[in-house]
Structures are given as C-alpha cells and as structure tokens.
C-alpha cells in the first residue's frame, strides 16, 4: 500500500430505519458509513464482546483464518466513489516453515470493520479519502449531549 493512511476507530453505531450508521474517526474528525442491520449488529457485538449462541458469518471467516494460520493484520478504507466506500483487508499468513505471506482482499468496509474489531486489528483510511469525507463530529457530539449512548471501542 503506497498511500499515506490515518488510523481511525469505531466511535459509535446507531440503528437507523434502513440499517445502521457507523461513526468512524479519531479525535480530529468523524465520518459515517451506512451498513445493513446484520453487519451493524455484528460490529456492536464484537465491540462489546457479546457472546453468541452460534457462530455468525464473521465468526466463521475468522475461524477459517485461524485454522489456516492467518489473521487480519489491518483494514484500510481505500477509496470513495459514487457514494460507496471501498476497503481492503490485509491478512498475514504464516505456514509451517515460518514463511510469512501477505494477502490483500477487496471487501465492503462494513465487513472489514467488523473483522478488524473482532480480531483487534487497526483500521485505517487513506489520507486522500480522509480529506474528502464530511466531518460529522458535531452530529456525534450533539447525539452524546442528548443522551445517546456511544458505543465506542474505548468504552467497551
């Protein structure tokens, strides 16, 4: 990855009529991606370490990575076009002779964020995309002031 990146985290997850709004960012800026209800619920469960009676899709993917000797190293939101964010999941694999391999997979940012949280991997955004996203910090701040319970990583 040749592009400069900025580390971000999930600041809040808010259910909406059409799914969930996931607030991502850092102390400088916050932006929103909209995800379907199932992935929003998965992100929230991973943030709060909520036990599940049966593995869900992200759990299955993580278990598969584990048995293959792989793990999510990091997630990068790489672009934004036509109102759609694009992400890459960077996976590291170590085989039985200790050789390391790096794999990059194209992914929906929602799935990438869910896996990153589940696997305690950092989330990044390219500087180019970061500079273009609309700052929603004030919206999040007003929601907090009005009693919205923020579901952020630091408090989980």
pTM of the predicted model as reported, rounded to 2 decimal places: 0.86
Question: pLDDT (tens digit, 9 = 90+) per residue, 80-104?
Answer: 998 899 999 999 998 777 678 899 9
Question: pLDDT (tens digit, 9 = 90+) per residue, 12-40?
Answer: 998 888 899 999 999 999 999 999 999 99
Domain boundaries, the chain: 5-155
Q: How far apart are CA 50 and CA 101, in angstroms?
A: 32
CATH fold of 5-155, please?
Bifunctional nuclease domain (3.10.690)
């Amino acid at each position: 990855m040749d592009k400069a990146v900025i580390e971000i985290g999930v600041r809040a997850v808010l259910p909406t009529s059409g799914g969930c709004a996931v607030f991502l960012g850092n102390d400088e800026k916050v932006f929103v991606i909209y995800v379907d209800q199932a992935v929003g619920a998965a992100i929230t469960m991973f943030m709060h370490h909520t036990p599940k009676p049966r593995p869900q899709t992200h759990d299955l993917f993580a278990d598969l990575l584990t048995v293959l000797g792989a793990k999510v190293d990091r997630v990068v939101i790489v672009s934004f076009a036509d109102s759609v964010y694009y992400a890459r999941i960077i996976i590291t694999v170590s085989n039985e002779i200790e050789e390391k391999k790096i794999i990059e997979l194209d992914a929906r940012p929602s799935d990438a964020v869910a896996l990153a949280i589940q696997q305690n991997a950092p989330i990044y955004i390219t500087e180019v995309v970061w500079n273009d996203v609309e700052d929603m910090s004030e919206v999040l701040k007003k929601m907090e002031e009005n009693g919205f319970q923020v579901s952020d990583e630091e408090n989980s």
